[in-house]
Structure 1
Amino acid sequence: MALIPVRCPLCGGEKVKKRGKTDDGKQRYLCQNENCEAKSFLLDYTYNGRKSDIKHKIIEMSLSGSGIRDIARVLEISTDTVISELKKKETLLDSVNSELLKTLEHTENIEVDILKVEEAEADEMWSFVGKKENQRWLWHAVDHKTGKVLAYTFGTHEDKVFLELKRLLEPFGIVKFYTDNWGCL
């Protein structure tokens, strides 16, 4: 018989003790590390939305332009889980692709030719909160050549939200915008 140490999924610590069982008989564990935020955890969750790799994919897919219902369908989780996870990560997300911007700012120290982004493909997609009258729009700009998301903003379907997106793109030196012919500015 081989014993496998149980590690906390948040801190990775091995100071873990059993903490009863769930209704369906799965073993629940408690991390003993004082600095760890994990109250209780399972090794194998039944619901996909509780798995840490799925939570990471929610953020990745939303930044790649997938809608809430699309993410929920692909990852086989509820739309409420998608929205909840996006709300939790909102403060950690940056509206501008900072890593790409840093590489563009330090081009004088690099001898390799780095092409600056000159054109952005702007688009918007919508969903609603609670009822269809309460619409929320995700506006995003993508580098047409690489497909990388440069910046995004949330808001209504009005010119002022597009102007906010334009402001976020100023550090990139974007001079051309391509839209799907919506009459915005």
Structure 2
Amino acid sequence: MAECCVKCGHPHVVKNGFVAGRQRFKCKSCHYQFTTEKLERGKPLWMKLEAVLLYISGLSLNAIAENLDVSAQAVLNWVRDFARANIEKPEPGKVVVVELDEFWHFVEFKKNRIWIWKAYDRDHGQLIDWELGNRDCETVERLLERLAQWQVTVYCTDGWQGFESLLDEHPDAYHVATKTETKAIERNNSDHRHWFARFKRKSKVVSKSLEMVDLTMALFAKFRVNGNIELLRNWKLSLLA
């Protein structure tokens, strides 16, 4: 029998039935009911990892919730928490060719467009950085300020006029403005829209916050470009073994 009440500390407690197979007690002083063993709450870790895997594989939050028989809010929390813990960008180093490009998305409604500007390291096949904002020079400048930490030899872009004026401020790197030199990042954009439901051009999935767009970018970079989804899949399987 429990020695004392876990709430008020009174020593007079009596047995009061069972809950989830555990003995329940009742305090005769404050009438608080409790068990001496902590009940396990929440879903298992393997299920949360399965939700992240399905998200990275192109399912919407609602579709994942239906498959796992949980709420869409629970899936959102799992994906968001996992992504927050795994935001990872390559450490600045020396690269020869960096391709710059952008594609549009929207938050809450289609007229509220945002632009995702991306920097792709052609030599190592890595997405090294990105920036969310408008289709303007200020947004690109924020990205270029971080890219200044890299030893970039050549920037390859399309013919957007803003690139020429902005890259003139980076005399250490040569600028090539032609779509024939941005094929790698265009393929990356295609993969981006393929692997995540929220980025598909024709989709019922709607992004409701910039944070989830940015966190999804982090998942895409880590598990679909710079890394391998098999690492996550093997981790989940090890929990089931």
Q: Which has the higher contact order (CA 8 A, sep 6+)?
A: 2
TM-score (norm. length: structure 1): 0.49
Greater helix fraction, Structure 1 or Structure 2: 2
Greater gyration radius: 2
TM-score (norm. length: structure 2): 0.39
